[in-house]
Amino acid sequence: MVGRMSTITEIEAAVDRLSPGEQAELLRQLANRLRSHQRATGPASRELWLGRLRALRATIGTGGPTLSSAQVLDELRQERN
């Protein structure tokens, strides 16, 4: 049995010890797991995240127009002169 790996470095070292075929199989399994996870957390999670983002924006936004970074830099330059 393989011991528990707790760091990316340990995991990378273990993967490096695999044969190219085993690495390819690991990659296929991880890709399948990622796709399954994305399907399970798909649009519903995205909508939840977007809702949280809208709420956050509402709490920190002024509702008024904001300056671009270029405009802010121009103002700072003018203040120095």
The pLDDT tens digits of the residues spanning 20-31 come to 899 999 999 999
pLDDT in tens, 19-62: 989 999 999 999 998 888 777 666 677 788 888 888 887 777 66
Residue 3 lies in a domain: no
Number of separate domains in the chain: 1
In a domain, 38, yes or no: yes
Please give the structure tokens belonging to residue 81: 């002169």
CB 15 within 8 A of CB 24: no
Residue 50 belongs to domain spanning: 8-80
Residues 42/48, Cβ–Cβ less than 8 Å: no
Residue 53 lies in a domain: yes
Residue 67's alpha-carbon distances to 10, 21, 37, 48, 74, in angstroms, are: 46, 54, 39, 29, 10
With respect to residue 25, please indicate whether it lies within any of the assigned structural domains: yes
Alpha-carbon gap, residue 46 to 60, rounded angstroms: 21
Read off the DSSP letter of residue 1. -
How does the average pLDDT of the chain come out, rounded? 81
Residue 1 lies in a domain: no
